[in-house]
Amino acid sequence: MTRLVDGAPPLSAVQLDRIAWRRRQSIRSILVAAASTAVLGVLLVVAVTGAPGWDRVRASFLDPSIAADALPDILRGLWLNVRLLFFCALGSLALGLVIALLRTLRGPVFFPVRALATSYTYTFRGLPLIIVIYVLTLGVPGLRLQGMPSVLVLGGAALVLTYSGYLAEVFRAGIESVHPSQVAAARSLGLTYRQAMRHVVLPQAVRRVAPPLLNDTVALQKDVGLVSLAGPIDAVRAAQISTAEHFNYTPYIVAGVLFVLLAIPLIAVTDWVTLRAARRQAGR
């Protein structure tokens, strides 16, 4: 027995049986995955709630009344984190791209520039972020210079300096993944080195490294909470203040849940871009 599918050649009985078998296997896999997930979830709930100290932990970390009381202040602080994430992400991407371009300059005359760019990436990739934040937010204001920016701006600058070092290496990897013959072909057509980088190399490089760039953005989304160490009242600092008022750690859980919810869209976009890049590379 055969059957036509959207004007395609008729399917044989063997092909129809294979399609039906694959459909049954897919349904079976979904049911097994759902059942195993449910069993694991039940076991975890029973193990946690059956622990001897569960009642004390629930009262100290999962108090609904304290969570409701702290939520408005934490949400106001989270809005500061969101704004800081936006500007720090743009600044890190821009500075990282500049550093990557400086590291890829050719010719002995540009050796000092390449050396400075290399030293920059080595330094800020090696320094812990918390030390950079402390130096910029606590040390730099001690210079008492005219027009000194606020602590929030200095904390954001620490994030930009640190993450641009990582992003610069990501951009450089993308630039160097483009075959030199493409630059040579662009130059043979009359394009200058700058035009070849702008119109030929960079579009391909950015497309290739989009997944790791987004992944670093997700990491930055978490680290913006470290600016609370310098004093600005973001979500983490608001949770800390509420914890000190109630002698209860539930506000920290609330802040953590909000950060996770904020990260979910970024993670979903990262996974989608990664899957799309993999399919493009496979030629599908």
pTM score of the predicted model: 0.82
What is the mean pLDDT for each group of 10 consecutive residues in the chain (284 residues)? 55 80 88 91 87 88 92 94 94 95 87 93 94 92 85 94 95 89 86 85 88 89 90 91 92 94 89 80 63
- The answer to whether position 271 is within a domain reads yes
Distance CA 210, CA 159 (A): 20
Tell me the helix, strand and coil percentages in the chain, rounded to 5: 85, 0, 15
At how many degrees (to 10) do helices 210-223 and 151-177 cross? 160
Residue 235 placed within a domain: yes
- Give which of 212, 210, 95 is closest to 163, Cα–Cα: 95
- pLDDT recorded at residue 6: 52
Give me the domain span that covers residue 237.
64-281
Q: What is the CATH classification number for the domain harbouring 149?
A: 1.10.3720.10
Inside any domain, residue 240: yes
Residue 52 domain flag: no
Q: For position 256, what pLDDT does the model report?
A: 94
Query: Residue 172 contacts by C-beta under 8 Å, 6 or more apart in sequence?
Result: 100, 103, 104
By C-alpha distance, which of 251, 247, 236 is closest to 62? Answer: 251
How many domains does the chain fold into?
1
Which DSSP string corresponds to 252-269?
A: HHHHHHHHHHHHHHHHHH
